[in-house]
Structures are given as structure tokens and as C-alpha cells.
């Protein structure tokens, strides 16, 4: 799915909403298509390329989420930095573990200069 149908102003509002949530909550998962919190069932993060501070950029994560499963999670660290990730929702823990392992292998391959292709 392409995100080209969303104007830049829509992405700006979405990024502002996600940042506002992250300032209020230490951890969250948010469905960006349904504009609702995800509070049940396990989620696993996609490997999304990181910025200079080794945290995925809020400029990249919402677009990645909309091209995949439309979930964005956030974790605010005690020092104030926020890690945003694009996520996938699971109802089965074994499937989530398998997916998480794949994402870790892709991240490790990308860190070594190997293929870091996202599914």
C-alpha cells in the first residue's frame, strides 16, 4: 500500500499526535488508521532503520506503519528520548516470537552491511 494519498499536512498531524501521546505515556501502541490505542494482544516491532541516535525517526515510522500494519508503538526513556517503532499485532505468541526473531536477524544483517530488507 502506498502512503502517497496522505498529504504532508496529514503526516505532520499524525507525527504531532504520536509525539503528544509519547509525552503523556511511558509506553503505548497506537493504530494510526483507526486512531485508537492497542491495549490487548502481543505486538512485535519491525526493523525500521535508525537515525544518528540509534532510534527510529518519527519522520519514517508512521509511513512504514501505514505501508504495513498501521501500528506505531512508543517507549519514552528516563532521559526523555523516545523510541518509536512500526509494529505488527499478533493473536498467537509463537507467531510473534517467530516474527521477532526474523526482525532481529534482519537488523543484525543490516548492521553488518548485509541485507536489511523489510518484509
Residue 10: the pLDDT is 81
pLDDT tens across 83-106, in order?
899 998 887 777 767 777 777 777
pLDDT of residue 110: 56
What pTM was estimated for this model as a whole?
Answer: 0.70
Q: Do the beta carbons of residue 103 and residue 44 sit within 8 Å?
A: yes
Per-residue pLDDT, 119:
39
Measure the CA–CA gap between 86 and 66, rounded to whole angstroms: 9
Residue 29: the pLDDT is 94
Q: What is the pLDDT of residue 50?
A: 72
Chunked mean pLDDT (size 10), the chain, 119 residues: 62 91 94 90 80 73 90 92 88 73 72 43
DSSP string, the chain: ---TTS-HHHHHHHHHHHHHHHHH-SEEEEETTTTEE--SS-EEE----B-TTSSB-TTTHHHHHHHTT-EEEEEE-TTS-EEEEEEEE-S-HHHHHHHHHHHHHHHHHHHTTS-----
Amino acid at each position: 500500500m502506498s502512503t502517497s494519498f496522505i498529504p504532508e499536512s496529514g503526516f505532520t498531524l499524525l507525527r504531532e499526535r504520536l509525539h503528544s501521546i509519547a509525552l503523556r505515556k511511558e509506553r503505548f501502541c497506537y493504530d494510526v488508521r483507526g486512531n485508537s490505542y492497542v491495549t490487548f494482544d502481543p505486538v512485535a516491532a519491525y526493523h525500521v532503520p535508525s537515525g544518528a541516535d540509534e532510534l527510529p525517526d518519527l519522520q519514517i515510522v508512521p509511513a512504514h506503519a501505514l505501508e504495513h500494519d498501521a501500528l506505531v508503538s512508543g517507549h519514552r526513556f528516563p532521559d526523555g528520548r523516545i523510541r518509536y517503532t512500526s509494529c505488527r499485532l499478533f493473536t498467537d505468541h509463537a507467531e510473534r516470537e517467530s516474527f521477532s526473531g526474523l526482525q532481529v536477524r534482519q537488523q543484525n544483517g543490516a548492521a553488518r552491511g548485509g541485507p536489511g530488507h523489510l518484509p
